[in-house]
Amino acid sequence: MVGTILYVVNVDRENGRGRGVLWAHLLAYLVGSTLVGGLLGAVGALLTPQAATPTRTLAVLGATGVAALLYGLGELSLLRVPTPRVRRQVPSGLRLTMRRRKLMAVVYGFELGVGFTTYVTATTFYVVALWIVLAGSPLLGVLTMMGFGLGRAVPMLMLSRYRGDTAWRSRLIEGLEGWTPLVHLANGLILGFCGASFLVAGLITR
């Protein structure tokens, strides 16, 4: 994924033109993620009761906590947990067929920002989505998913500072692949920390 995106967002700059495509792509991450956050929150508001009772707090924090703990164990390959994960990636062939590069960068960014239609590395994303639905607040959904969009955008912004060629991009992808187990380990441990804290917070709230 990163190879395709870095090529798309940097090719104009490599040809001596501006960084408009890059910024359009990064903005599309945020638009996609905040939009899906707002939608999930709105769906939750329709489906869940809004009264702030201790029972509801326990239900929301407890369910999110249990999900985070289970997915944390899954990230550490200690438990098989079903996920709604899709295997699809952004279509790399789009860069060959779509002529307007900025539009293509926006389409890529938006779809990656939405998150549900493409493969996501860590199941942490689904715990976040669950919490947004259960919390039932579009505003909280927007603010939370903005974190996901920013998390996607910042590394891309930093990587785009390097004017690397195709060989550099290949080396980068190979280098990143080697660190994948550590990414899952970090996600698993953070999910364990947060999951237990949500569960305890739900249980002690009266």
- How many C-beta neighbours within 10 Å does residue 42 have? 16
Among 22, 28, 104, 145, binds another protein (CB under 8 A): 145
Q: Taking CB under 8 A as the rule, does residue 110 contact another protein?
A: no
Residues 6+ apart with CB under 8 A from 93: none
36 binds another protein (CB under 8 A): no
Q: How far is the CB of 17 from another protein (least distance, A)?
A: 25
Q: Whole-angstrom Cα distance, residue 85 to residue 168?
A: 30
Cβ 29 to another protein, closest distance in Å?
A: 8
CA angle 81, 85, 88 (to 5 degrees): 150
Instruction: For helices 138-159 and 2-14, give the axis angle rounded to 10 degrees.
Output: 60
Q: Does 120 help bind another protein (rule: CB under 8 A)?
A: yes
> Do 87 and 152 meet the contact criterion of CB atoms below 8 Å apart?
no
Interactions with another protein, residue window 15-34 (CB under 8 A): 33
Least distance to another protein, CB of residue 155, Å: 5
Among 44, 72, 109, 138, binds another protein (CB under 8 A): 72
Is residue 109 near another protein by the rule CB under 8 A? Answer: no
Which of 28, 148, 161, 170 touches another protein (CB under 8 A)? 148
Q: Is the dihedral of CA 54, 56, 61, 62 positive or negative?
A: positive
Q: Does the protein bind another protein through residue 131 (CB under 8 A)?
A: yes
Answer for which of 24, 118, 136, 142 binds another protein (CB under 8 A) is 118
Number of residues located near another protein, criterion CB under 8 A: 75
Among candidates 35, 120, 111, 61, which has minimal Cα distance to 86? 120
The stretches of 15-123 forming alpha helices (DSSP H) are 20-47, 54-75, 94-97, 101-114
Q: Least CB distance from residue 80 to another protein, whole Å?
A: 14
Q: Does 66 bind another protein (CB under 8 A)?
A: no
Nearest distance from residue 138's CB to another protein, in Å?
Answer: 14
